[in-house]
Structure 1
Amino acid sequence: MGESPRAGQGDGRWDGGLLGAEQSALVASWLGSPKLVADLSWGLVDTKVLHVQAPTGQFIIKAGGPDNHHLGRELVAHRAYTRSLVECGRAGRLLHADPGANLLVMEYLEGRLVEGAEAELAPPTYAQAGGLLRLLHRQEFRIDDRYELQATAKSLAWLDRAHRIDPAVEREARRRLAEYRPQPATVVPTHGDWQPRNWLVHRGEIRVIDFGRFDFRPAATDLCRLAVQQWRGRPELEQAFLDGYGRDPRSAPSWRIDLLQEAVGTAVWAFQVGDAAFEDQGHRMLREALQLF
Structure 2
Amino acid sequence: MSWGVLETTVLRVTHRDRVVVVKAGGPGDHHIAREIRAHREWTAPLVDRGRAARLLHADLEAKLLVTEHLPGALVQDGPAVSDPETYRQAGELLAALHGQLEVVDPDFEASANRKVLAWLDRPHRIPADDAARLRRLIRSWPEAEVVCVPTHGDWRPRNWVIDEAGTVRVIDWGRADLRPPLEDFERLDSGEFVGRPEREEAFIRGYGSDPRRTPAWFRQRTRAGISAACWSFAFGVPELEQRGLRMVAEALAEA
User: Smaller-chain TM-score range?
Assistant: over 0.9
State the shift of 1:90 in Å: 0.7
Of the candidates 139, 146, 155, which is equivalent to residue 100 of structure 2? 139
Q: Which runs of 5+ in 2 are unaligned?
A: none
Distance in 2 of aligned mates of 1:103 and 1:240: 36
Summarize the alignment of residues 201-240 of structure 1 with structure 2, pairs less than 5 Å apart: 201-203=162-164, 204-240=166-202
Kept in 2, the 8 Å contact 1:62–1:105? The answer is yes
Specify the code of the residue in structure 2 equivalent to 1:142: V
Please give the per-residue CA displacement for 1:31-89, whole angstroms capped at 9, x wherever unaligned: xxxxxxxxx11111101111111114111111111221110000100001101111111
Of the candidates 77, 88, 92, which is equivalent to residue 127 of structure 1? 88
Summarize the alignment of residues 245-284 of structure 1 with structure 2, pairs less than 5 Å apart: 245-284=207-246
State the shift of 1:271 in Å: 1.1
Distance in 2 of aligned mates of 1:176 and 1:116: 37
The secondary structure found in structure 2 opposite 1:186 is strand
Kept in 1, the 8 Å contact 2:7–2:28? The answer is no
Distance in 1 of aligned mates of 2:206 and 2:88: 4
Summarize the alignment of residues 58-137 of structure 1 with structure 2, pairs less than 5 Å apart: 58-137=19-98
The secondary structure found in structure 2 opposite 1:58 is strand
Summarize the alignment of residues 30-69 of structure 1 with structure 2, pairs less than 5 Å apart: 40-69=1-30
The secondary structure found in structure 2 opposite 1:49 is strand
State the shift of 1:268 in Å: 0.8
Of the candidates 132, 150, 154, which is equivalent to residue 193 of structure 1? 154
Distance in 2 of aligned mates of 1:122 and 1:161: 39
Distance in 2 of aligned mates of 1:169 and 1:48: 37
Matched with 2:128 is 167
The secondary structure found in structure 1 opposite 2:231 is helix
Please give the per-residue CA displacement for 1:219-257, whole angstroms capped at 9, x wherever unaligned: 111100000001111111111111100111123321000
Distance in 2 of aligned mates of 1:92 and 1:266: 28
Kept in 2, the 8 Å contact 1:45–1:273? The answer is no
State the shift of 1:272 in Å: 1.2
TM-score (structure 1 length as normaliser): 0.85
Highest relative contact order (Cα 8 Å, sep 6+), 1 or 2?
A: 2
Kept in 1, the 8 Å contact 2:154–2:187? The answer is yes
Distance in 2 of aligned mates of 1:68 and 1:207: 25
Structure 1: 4+ residue segments shifted above 3 A: none
RMSD: 1.0
Kept in 2, the 8 Å contact 1:95–1:107? The answer is yes
Kept in 1, the 8 Å contact 2:160–2:170? The answer is yes
The number of residue pairs the alignment matches comes to 254
Distance in 1 of aligned mates of 2:240 and 2:85: 27
State the shift of 1:159 in Å: 0.9
Matched with 2:247 is 285
Distance in 1 of aligned mates of 2:252 and 2:79: 32
Distance in 1 of aligned mates of 2:32 and 2:41: 14
Distance in 2 of aligned mates of 1:102 and 1:156: 30
State the shift of 1:117 in Å: 1.0
Matched with 1:19 is none
Distance in 2 of aligned mates of 1:135 and 1:161: 37
TM-score (structure 2 length as normaliser): 0.97
Q: After alignment, is 172-181 or 222-231 more displaced?
A: 172-181
Distance in 1 of aligned mates of 2:59 and 2:131: 41
Distance in 2 of aligned mates of 1:99 and 1:214: 15
Identity %: 46
Kept in 1, the 8 Å contact 2:23–2:64? The answer is yes
